[in-house]
Chain A
Amino acid sequence: MTEPIVHTDQFTGRSAGGDSAGFSVVGTRIRQPDGPAKATGEAKFAGDISLPGMLIGKILRSPYAHAVVKSIDTSRAEALPGVMAILTPDNVAEWDTFDRGMKDMPLVAGGYRVPPEEAVVNKVARHFGDAIAAVAAVDEHTAEEAIELLDVEYEILPFVLDAEEAMQPGAPQVSELAPGNVGKHLFYPYPEGDVDKALAEADLVVSGVFSTHKQDHCTQETAACVAYVDASGRLNVWSQCQLAHLGRRELAHIFRIPVSRIKLMTPFVGGSFGQRGSVCAEPIAVALALRSKRPVRLVFSREDNFLGLESRTGFKSIDIKLGFASDGTLTAIKTSMIGSLGGYMGCGPMSSVIGMTLSMGHYRCPNRFGEAQMVMTNTPVSGAMRGFGNDAMMFCIEQLMDDAARRLGIDPIEIRLKNAKQPGETASMGLELESTYIEDCMRAGAEAFGWYEKRAQPKKDEGPIKRGYGMATMSHCTGAAPLYLEHSNAMVKFNEDGSVDLTVHPAPVGTHIWGALSQICAEELGIRAEDVNIVTGDTDVTLFEYGSDASRSTYAIGGATLRAAHKAKEQMLAHAAEMLEVPAEQLMVRDRVISVEGRPDKTVTVGEVCYDAIYAFGGHATNFAGKQSFEPVWNSPTYGAYFAEVEVNTETGRVRVPRFVTAIDCGKAINPMAVEGQLEGGLQQGLGYALTENFIVNPKTGVVETDNYDSYKVPGTLDMPDSTVIIVDKPDPKGPFGAKGVGEPGMVGIPPCIANAIYDAIGVRLQDLPMTPERVLEALELAGRESA
């Protein structure tokens, strides 16, 4: 008998009204269960795993942006003692090609499939740094030497780096799968009205052509994988994949083996931010293990990470027009995007669809249209990073919203409030909007920042330093329903001391998700968070889990956890009712104790009930356990308001951000400390994306010039603003105990907020990311010439 997946049930709507005062575990600032292991060096990451006889893998990457590997002479490398396996494009044909994005699932709207376009190592290098060979050897130095000894003959091909140039007739072809280099021509999946008519009739049209860039995730741990075939012939893989079960499925596909022959384990992962949502080190590590018949550890160098993994999809241009009525009502939005995919499609194309969709989350707008040409170029691959296109769209929309406010003489907060959707209206993905406290975000953020006071002050003369204040808002998804599968599972098992084992498989990438799930579980069961042991990280043990992306883990895996815990609790309370000789409905459980209202004589601990059930001789022994499949087909967006103070040095062009306030409506905060951590960390990534990080490809050679932190500047301790995070903390009707997602929102609203503050400081709009000193000076010079 198959058990139906839950769509709606007694838990949806339960936390409406917000009885958060009654919570004992949810809403508290618990310590993370994995904290001590990480503070002592005990925590094992993939690169820390050692096995007897283990080999070390290394990758040979193309020194050309576009080339055919004519031949690889492996004889010198093979002769080197200690070299155990060599992969070349000619000897990997027994394995299948793949889509590194792993998303070949039906999508409700805007859907497409990416063809299996990539081999384990590739015959045609489609970008600088494309993997064309790999070796496994007894140690790192031998592996490095073997890579040096591979003699490769290349046929160098013409290349194209720029997305707009790639669309021109006669441009070099990046892939035979994309004639004319347009990998995907996609449309905003929820169009409405007649956008051209609405723009023609609008009282005001604000428009601009913006661009964004290819931000690298810069996970502190590089991509890593350990693989070996055990004595029974099963493939054991320690993988960083955010989507463990999809990762296992993809490896089964590539290596043409049944899923049952793969045990995929997830150790701690040193950051992900969307990058490990794709296949990373796994295919080459597994191929080397299969070929050498030895355990293999493959750890990417920092350079490998910049060249061989997906980074944020940059948009060469986003041409966008917003129409307004004279009272500030938004009437139309029309978007045309050109995105750069790099040498493979991967997750990149969806950045446009997701971006256009999510960016329509918080403003009511009756006329909407958008399209995107996602273009292949001979550059490293683009994909998903925190924000997944919403960052790019928000960069444009929130600047234009400010422009409209200024031209219409409306306060920037009031124009946003005027257009903000309300519960019951249609949310970004065509679903009913469940909860929004965007107004609370703006009001609380403005107060903490001193928005009105600062904006009203006359500007002081600070010489070349011009000071400005800006704000922006955003909404983002909580999971990707209905665009992606949202299937999560949880299993809750009571032990005889009243503690529980919670079996789940979120990605342990540092989001404090173990703690949040333990709180949700403990709250439902009436026990403490530390009573919940997280069982995870092994596809042999965990039920199917779509995984951690799209800010979904607390909402979807948390939703499964809540329901599984409830099932286990019902069993436990039924047994307690027998022990106490009262109806189960009269029982309350809190802080590990079961009691009956008005009957102080009738108490028993959860541990006593569990012990009694497990050690029940005479044919009645039972172990309480609940399991739940959960697929939320709804999606309750998270909302945020951001406020920045900037100092623009008009002599150097440098922008400093001394003060930042983030106010967030992520529903009920399961752990406020963890929510703050997501937003504070998002600020670092948003600040880098806005100002200093820049993935540079040499336009003449196609060589990637930014391959480490000395050429690619991520913000350090001294670059960070004084930061305040405000959590509005009002429950959503459908999230577990009222929670919504909070992973991505931390960074989505930051670039436009800083851009709006820069405009306030110097009266110039910066429409291209990153807003480097050079661009600030150029913009100032242009503005000076225009006004002269």
Chain B
Amino acid sequence: MKTVATFVVNGHPHEIAVEPHQLLIEVLRDHLGLTGTKHSCGVGNCGACTVLVDGIPKLACLTVAREVRDKPILTIEGLAKDGVLHPLQQAFVDYGAIQCGYCTPGMILTAKALLDGNPDPTEHEVREALAGNICRCTGYVKIVEAVLAAAEVMRKGGN
């Protein structure tokens, strides 16, 4: 049976009627039209659907929507501020870390959680943090470069 719950997505509260079994990815994509959260494996193997809940990476394809009601949810659409790309987004563009772009939102959000907790990671720490995110295009080289470059920008006071 549907019940109404509040989902605080990218800073905005939304009252949405959800079924008990409904997944967060459905709420984001189908109810809110936030299609930047990508569906790929459907079972938590690839990281494409990663969003941040309370700052922590969550796989939206495995997360029951009602479990995250009232909690702050950040999707890729909420990362740029006033039309200015977040340093991670800018670095992904600048370093050629985006090819098909399908893994990009999940990669960027996973990397954001890493950098928020560890502003100066080693390359190996970046690779460990992104180990659950599959990319089939880049071989990860430029993604890792971009994360390290963004970390430097953020340490120097970029937003």
Residues of A within 8 A of B (CB): 29, 31-32, 34-45, 47-48, 50, 140, 217-222, 268-273, 299, 301-302, 509-512, 673-674, 676-677, 679-685, 708-710, 714, 716-718, 720, 723
In the complex, what residues of B have CB within 8 A of residue A38's CB? 98, 101, 104
For the A-B complex with A41-B75, A676-B142, A681-B138 known, give 8 more contacts whose Cβ atoms are closer than 8 Å: A31-B93, A41-B36, A220-B103, A221-B100, A222-B39, A510-B100, A677-B142, A681-B135
Instruction: Name the residue in B43, B90, B95, B141 with the highest tally of chain A Cβ atoms < 10 Å from its Cβ.
Output: B141
Could you name 17 residue pairs across A and B whose Cβ atoms are closer than 8 Å? Answer: A31-B93, A32-B96, A40-B79, A41-B35, A43-B101, A510-B102, A673-B96, A676-B142, A679-B139, A680-B138, A680-B142, A681-B137, A716-B131, A717-B128, A717-B143, A720-B127, A723-B139
Known: A220-B48, A222-B40, A271-B102. A720 touches B134 (CB 8 A): no
- Asked whether B43 lies within 8 Å of A685 as measured between CB atoms, the reply is no
Instruction: Name the residue in B37, B40, B130, B131 with the highest tally of chain A Cβ atoms < 10 Å from its Cβ.
Output: B40
In the complex, what residues of B have CB within 8 A of residue A709's CB? 41, 45-46, 134
In the complex, what residues of B have CB within 8 A of residue A716's CB? 130-134, 140
Instruction: Name the residue in B46, B92, B133 with the highest tally of chain A Cβ atoms < 10 Å from its Cβ.
Output: B46
* Mask: chain B, 29-47; 1 = CB below 8 Å from A; 0 = not: 1000111111111110110
Nearest CB of B to A268, in Å? 6
Q: Which of A272, A301, A677, A684 contacts B42 (CB 8 A)?
A: A301
Q: Which of A32, A41, A47, A218 contacts B34 (CB 8 A)?
A: A41
In the complex, what residues of B have CB within 8 A of residue A273's CB? 136
Known: A273-B136, A723-B139. A302 touches B40 (CB 8 A): yes
Q: How far is the CA of A272 from the CA of B144 in the complex (A)?
A: 23
In the complex, what residues of A have CB within 8 A of residue B135's CB? 220, 681, 684
* Interface residue B80 (Cβ < 8 Å from any Cβ of A): yes
- Asked whether A39 lies within 8 Å of B85 as measured between CB atoms, the reply is yes
Nearest CB of A to B10, in Å? 10
- Asked whether B34 lies within 8 Å of A708 as measured between CB atoms, the reply is no
- Asked whether A677 lies within 8 Å of B137 as measured between CB atoms, the reply is yes
Nearest CB of B to A515, in Å? 9
* Interface residue B108 (Cβ < 8 Å from any Cβ of A): yes
- Asked whether A41 lies within 8 Å of B99 as measured between CB atoms, the reply is no
Residue of B nearest to A675 (CB): B96
* Interface residue B105 (Cβ < 8 Å from any Cβ of A): yes
Q: How far is the CA of A723 from the CA of B132 in the complex (A)?
A: 20
Residue of B nearest to A47 (CB): B39
- Asked whether B43 lies within 8 Å of A302 as measured between CB atoms, the reply is yes
Nearest CB of B to A304, in Å? 10
Q: How far is the CA of A684 from the CA of B137 in the complex (A)?
A: 8
* Mask: chain B, 89-129; 1 = CB below 8 Å from A; 0 = not: 11011111011111111001000000000000000001110
Q: Which of A222, A302, A510, A674 contacts B101 (CB 8 A)?
A: A510
Q: Which of A43, A221, A681, A683 contacts B40 (CB 8 A)?
A: A221
* Interface residue B67 (Cβ < 8 Å from any Cβ of A): no
In the complex, what residues of A have CB within 8 A of residue B137's CB? 220, 271, 510, 677, 681
Known: A40-B80, A41-B35. A220 touches B46 (CB 8 A): yes
Interface residues on B, range: 35 or more
Known: A681-B138, A709-B45, A710-B45. A270 touches B128 (CB 8 A): no
Residue of B nearest to A37 (CB): B101
- Asked whether B138 lies within 8 Å of A40 as measured between CB atoms, the reply is no
* Interface residue B77 (Cβ < 8 Å from any Cβ of A): yes
Q: Which of A36, A268, A677 contacts B93 (CB 8 A)?
A: A36
In the complex, what residues of B have CB within 8 A of residue A676's CB? 96, 141-142
Q: Which of A31, A50, A680, A717 contacts B94 (CB 8 A)?
A: A31
Q: How far is the CA of A67 from the CA of B36 in the complex (A)?
A: 40
Residue of A nearest to B146 (CB): A39
- Asked whether B100 lies within 8 Å of A270 as measured between CB atoms, the reply is yes
Q: Which of A37, A270, A720 contacts B139 (CB 8 A)?
A: A720
Nearest CB of B to A350, in Å? 23
- Asked whether B35 lies within 8 Å of A710 as measured between CB atoms, the reply is no
- Asked whether B85 lies within 8 Å of A40 as measured between CB atoms, the reply is yes
- Asked whether A717 lies within 8 Å of B40 as measured between CB atoms, the reply is no
Nearest CB of B to A494, in Å? 27
* Interface residue B52 (Cβ < 8 Å from any Cβ of A): no
Known: A29-B96, A39-B85, A674-B96. A682 touches B102 (CB 8 A): no
Nearest CB of A to B113, in Å? 15
- Asked whether B76 lies within 8 Å of A41 as measured between CB atoms, the reply is yes
- Asked whether B93 lies within 8 Å of A32 as measured between CB atoms, the reply is yes
Residue of B nearest to A680 (CB): B139
Known: A39-B104, A220-B46, A720-B139. A50 touches B38 (CB 8 A): no
Nearest CB of B to A511, in Å? 7
In the complex, what residues of B have CB within 8 A of residue A717's CB? 126-128, 130-131, 133, 140, 143-144
Q: Which of B36, B40, B75, B131 contacts A220 (CB 8 A)?
A: B40
- Asked whether A714 lies within 8 Å of B136 as measured between CB atoms, the reply is yes
Q: Which of A39, A217, A220 contacts B98 (CB 8 A)?
A: A39
Q: How far is the CA of A170 from the CA of B92 in the complex (A)?
A: 57
Top 5 A-B residue pairs of the complex, sorted by shortest distance between their CB atoms: A41-B36, A510-B100, A270-B102, A38-B101, A680-B139
Nearest CB of B to A643, in Å? 16
Nearest CB of B to A297, in Å? 11
Residue of A nearest to B139 (CB): A680
In the complex, what residues of A have CB within 8 A of residue B103's CB? 220
Residue of B nearest to A29 (CB): B96
In the complex, what residues of B have CB within 8 A of residue A680's CB? 138-142
Q: Which of B45, B95, B136 contacts A708 (CB 8 A)?
A: B45
Q: How far is the CA of A302 from the CA of B26 in the complex (A)?
A: 17
Residue of B nearest to A679 (CB): B139
In the complex, what residues of B have CB within 8 A of residue A679's CB? 139
Q: How far is the CA of A677 from the CA of B133 in the complex (A)?
A: 18
- Asked whether B43 lies within 8 Å of A708 as measured between CB atoms, the reply is yes
Q: How far is the CA of A273 from the CA of B108 in the complex (A)?
A: 23
Q: How far is the CA of A714 from the CA of B94 in the complex (A)?
A: 26
- Asked whether A40 lies within 8 Å of B100 as measured between CB atoms, the reply is no
Q: How far is the CA of A9 from the CA of B20 in the complex (A)?
A: 67
- Asked whether A35 lies within 8 Å of B40 as measured between CB atoms, the reply is no
Q: How far is the CA of A714 from the CA of B99 in the complex (A)?
A: 17
Considering only residues 40-88 of chain B, those with a C-beta below 8 Å from chain A are: 40-43, 45-46, 48, 75-77, 79-80, 85
Residue of A nearest to B140 (CB): A717
In the complex, what residues of A have CB within 8 A of residue B35's CB? 41, 44-45, 47-48
- Asked whether B100 lies within 8 Å of A269 as measured between CB atoms, the reply is yes
Nearest CB of B to A602, in Å? 38
- Asked whether A34 lies within 8 Å of B101 as measured between CB atoms, the reply is yes
Known: A271-B102, A683-B139, A685-B136. A512 touches B96 (CB 8 A): yes
Q: How far is the CA of A720 from the CA of B36 in the complex (A)?
A: 27
- Asked whether B37 lies within 8 Å of A220 as measured between CB atoms, the reply is no
Residue of B nearest to A36 (CB): B93
